[in-house]
Amino acid sequence: MNQAVALHPWERPHHLNSEENVLMIDGVNVNHLIKRYGSPLFVYSENKLRENALDILSSFRQVHEKTRVCFASKACANLSVLKVFKEAGLSIEVNSGGEFFKASAAGYLPEDMVFNGVAKQHNELREVINAGIKAINVDSLSELQRILNIALSLNKQANIALRIIPEIKGGATAGWETGTSASKFGMSRDEQLHAIQLINRHPDSLKVRGIHAHIGTQVNEVSAFQAEADFLIAYANEIRSLLPYPLEHINLGGGYPKNYTSHQDNLNTVSEHYKQNYRTQIDFSVLSEILIKPITDALGCEIEIIVEPGRSMVSDTAIMLTRIEAEKTRNQHPVYYLDAGYSVLFDIYNGWYFHMVNASRTDDTDTKLCRMVGPLCDSSDTYYDIEGEGSVKSLLQAEPNLEAHQEILKKVLVRQPNMRELPADTQVGDVIALLDTGAYALEMMNEYCGRQSAAAVMLDGNQESRLIRRRAKYEDLLTYDIS
């Protein structure tokens, strides 16, 4: 289990590089950013945000001109990020009344929004129906009945899309699979047939604008996307035959994978299953061929295609800077304590891997293996999968005969390499950069143990930085408390 993803190479042309042994992001010295804004700190790149938006729009629209990219704002609903994407030509997907509010504040019009979610509340639905949102992706029959009641009370017609269960397995982990009946999402075929009957009985209040499916997140199998395309083509034709009017759009959801190391060579020293999670050959150009093209060929150029990418739009647009505050030695390996744990980067609690670079010693090639942990008063606050390692150990103690299957147990239960390769001279005070932290981090950040939420800055194309989220203050801890 003493495996570590190789530190080098981590450089990324025109984005991440080294000058005088210090990490540079978009030409800006990270030490200067830490000195000005403090630690921990998220650093977003406006250049990368715009680059990703251009990449998906050009790749998909080259195949299907009527493609609408609705950024899944749950991945990062920061106002500055949303505004950059709006300027770059993206629409938006929201998952709550709160996200609808933020999207509106960022300048998105209702006709540029789709509304997802499994338990949409009455007040949220009333807001979006009254506003005339482009589509509500209906997740259940009970939700459809609620939408109908609200539309009748408002004397409005609600624009809806039916979310179907495609029964396609996809995603890096079971918790990220959304396309099977084992998940909590979507309606079965029989439920949708009942839904269409209800819709057709109330044409003044309900109109089907499209159909919707989503198969997971960090989906790294070409076959899964091919299966989704085949399924939606057949289902679109079936739905068309049941409606008295044309189907306007087909929503493919998102789940597109992203790399979490800079190069395939980083993973040469670890087990094969880590490569499947943290590296991918699927990019927007590949998706345009395996997903957009077959749907266009089958359904024509007039129907609108909607996609809802989240992680793939923002994960590689930010790094997180955190400082080493303390060190120990355990089991012959150094352990370094950072000022950022899962309260700042919650995905590490779920066992997700983020590549680390010592931003204070970027050119060093003499390295060592070490453990990295956070500052929280919680044993799970680690940058390795302590729960998975513990589960393997407990199973082997309970049943020694499983020793022969130890590698299989590790593959199934241990979700990231347990060691980090960092410069041999790493020490207290060094700044550590975690790469590809742009997705979900700001949305899931909390103030557990009374630790203040991190600040975030945006770098523009002129190597200038601006604060896009202030660091929390002690006083913020009292915001919701009433004595």
Q: What is the pLDDT along the chain (483 residues), one digit of tens a residue?
A: 458 999 999 999 999 999 999 999 999 999 999 999 999 999 999 999 999 999 999 999 999 999 999 999 999 999 999 999 999 999 999 999 999 999 999 999 999 999 999 999 999 999 999 999 999 999 999 999 999 999 999 999 999 999 998 877 765 566 666 667 677 788 888 998 999 999 999 999 999 999 999 888 888 889 999 999 999 999 999 999 999 999 999 999 998 999 999 999 999 888 888 888 889 999 999 999 999 999 999 999 999 999 999 999 999 999 999 999 999 999 899 999 999 999 999 999 988 999 999 999 999 999 999 999 999 999 999 999 999 999 999 999 999 999 999 888 988 888 889 899 999 999 999 999 999 999 999 999 999 999 999 999 999 989 999 999 999 999 999 999 998
Of 95, 68, 108, residue with least CA distance to 251: 68
- Residue ranges of E strands in 396-470: 419-423, 431-434, 455-459, 465-469
Is residue 299 located within the same domain as residue 266? Answer: yes
Is residue 241 located within the same domain as residue 289? Answer: yes
Is residue 220 located within the same domain as residue 150? Answer: yes
pLDDT at site 301: 95
| Rounded Cα distance, 371 and 331, in Å | 10
Domain boundary among 309, 326, 356: 309
Query: What phi and psi, each to the nearest 5 degrees, are found at residue 425?
Result: -90, 10
Is residue 298 located within the same domain as residue 444? Answer: no
Token pair 């630790």: residue: 451
Residue 436 belongs to some domain of the structure: yes
Is residue 328 located within the same domain as residue 292? Answer: no
Confirm if 94 and 106 have CB atoms less than 8 A apart: no
Of 251, 124, 237, residue with least CA distance to 186: 251
pLDDT at site 425: 97
Is residue 186 located within the same domain as residue 296? Answer: yes
CATH number at residue 16: 2.40.37.10
Residue 51 belongs to some domain of the structure: no
Is residue 302 located within the same domain as residue 336? Answer: no
Residue 64 belongs to some domain of the structure: no
Residue 53 belongs to some domain of the structure: no
DSSP string, 294-321: HHHHHH-SSSEEEE---HHHHGGGEEEE
Domain boundary among 309, 331, 357: 309
For 123, residues 6+ apart whose C-beta sits below 8 A from its C-beta are 97
| Rounded Cα distance, 183 and 187, in Å | 11
Range list of H helices, 290-385: 293-299, 311-314
Residue 84 belongs to some domain of the structure: no
Q: How many domains does the structure of the chain reveal?
A: 2
Residue 152 belongs to some domain of the structure: yes
Q: Which pTM does this prediction carry?
A: 0.94
For 216, residues 6+ apart whose C-beta sits below 8 A from its C-beta are 169, 170, 171, 172, 176, 177, 178, 179, 224, 255
Residue 339 belongs to some domain of the structure: yes
Domain boundary among 256, 274, 309: 309
Is residue 442 located within the same domain as residue 344? Answer: yes
Is residue 41 located within the same domain as residue 147? Answer: no
Is residue 143 located within the same domain as residue 183? Answer: yes
3-class SS at 126?
A: helix
Is residue 325 located within the same domain as residue 301? Answer: no
Is residue 381 located within the same domain as residue 234? Answer: no
CATH number at residue 145: 3.20.20.10
Range of the domain at 172: 109-309
Residue 63 belongs to some domain of the structure: no
